[in-house]
Amino acid sequence: MARKKFSDTSIARLKPPAGGRAEYWDEEVPGFGLRVTARGTKTWQLMYRKDGRKRRLTLGNYPALSLKLARKAATDARAAIERGRDPASERSALTGGPMTFEGFARAYLERYAKRHKKTWQADRAMIENDLIKAWGRRPADAIARRDVIALLEEVMARGHPYAANRRLALIRKMFAWGIQVDLISTSPTTGVSAPAREETRTRILNEHEIAALWQAWTEMGWPYGFIFKLILLTAQRRSDIAGLRLDDIGFTTQIWTPPLAKTGAGNVHELPLTPSVLEILTSLPRATSQLVFPSPGDRNKPVSGFSKASERASELSGINDWRTQDLRRTAAVGMARMGVRPELLDQILNVRTTISPGLRGVYQLASDAQEKRQAMEAWSDQIEAITSRTDPAKS
């Protein structure tokens, strides 16, 4: 069986045979290949032997199932075969038939969210914690409006109305993307309204609330207490802090560069790290993964479960009706009150900014870097002054 090097480009360029079907085999994974029919249908497959008989495991169609995901499915199947299982007989969720919701969700994460969304890790958390658990093995095209409504009602019943809105927005985006790339024919969100009415939040924590929450976070410790502190000190998004990687932290340069974090003008987002932030980062236990805050269940994924952590902080502090996005807003307003100019604040928050082109832009970035550090250190000093009176760790 002749093998070739598979790539997204080479797979996309494969032409249908004049008649019958053609088969191509991967150099990397034994038995993993692609079957192309005269009508242009491209189907991933895995050939193997079980009890002396040749078996064919159909993994799914390309491009609905990407090369990366198909190769992983083949690798997982081979591992199962070595353990004595027969995946072709088991007909697992990823084999044959229509595309499962889990396969569709993984495709959305790999092909869209990771490439285009700064908050893709939040999407992944919602997908894995709620959507796949509810619909994972079902055909993606079989998800109906009543299924979406039932899931939203369940989230509402848990006391998280805004979280229900976030899940509806994600499901709507996923299916809109699926229709656009011809993975899905219809969207189950048509006619479904947001279950909770949202008011624009303007919640700013006062000094008493900051001090009380800080003390609660100190008591909570690893990992959520540290994450909440870092959000307040840096004014960064929760997903960015939760997804912190050791490789992106310059302990010598005292700069953090989030992966793929770009400004509106395409410049890399660089955030100065203040002494308070570095003190927290250097005190953390060293994880066995590149992530600073890995999930206990998967060391390659960032920690999740912030709703329960926020509730715990409220119980310890007596401060209610606060959310993690309020910490970022509090930091932004705090720096604005200290006189940080709006353009510089936009750079710190990593929202759309305008940087002059060419050499002038380079000088502007260099000048702004020093000013950003001064602003961040001034805000950090203010938090230090507010919390040092109540935090046992600073006594």
Does residue 147 form part of some domain? yes
Contact 58, 45 (CB under 8 A): yes
CATH number at residue 261: 1.10.443.10
What is the per-residue pLDDT for 83?
A: 85
Kindly compute the dihedral angle of the four CA atoms of residues 305, 150, 164, 316, in this order, to the nearest 10 degrees: -40
The neighbouring-strand residues paired with 21 are: 37
Q: How far apart are CA 287 and CA 307, in angstroms?
A: 23
Contact 27, 41 (CB under 8 A): no
> Domain total for the chain?
3
Does residue 160 form part of some domain? yes
148 and 284 both lie in a single domain: no
221 and 300 both lie in a single domain: yes
What is the per-residue pLDDT for 335?
A: 96
Q: Report pLDDT digits (tens) over 376-387.
A: 999 999 999 999
Does residue 185 form part of some domain? no
Does residue 15 form part of some domain? yes
What is the per-residue pLDDT for 261?
A: 52
CATH number at residue 26: 3.30.160.390
Low-confidence ranges of the chain (pLDDT < 50): 91-96, 262-265, 356-363
Does residue 95 form part of some domain? no
54 and 158 both lie in a single domain: no
What global pTM score does this model have? 0.57
Domain that holds residue 135: 101-180
Helix, strand, coil fractions of the chain, as percent rounded to 5: 50, 10, 35
Q: Report pLDDT digits (tens) over 242-259.
A: 999 999 999 999 999 876
Does residue 191 form part of some domain? no
129 and 277 both lie in a single domain: no
71 and 115 both lie in a single domain: no
50 and 106 both lie in a single domain: no
132 and 247 both lie in a single domain: no
Closest alpha carbon to 165 in 180, 152, 150: 152
> How far, in Å, are 64, 168, 309 from residue 294 at the CA level?
30, 27, 15
Does residue 189 form part of some domain? no
Contact 353, 264 (CB under 8 A): yes
Assign residue 34 a region: left if phi > 0, alpha if psi is -120 to 50, beta otherwise?
Answer: beta
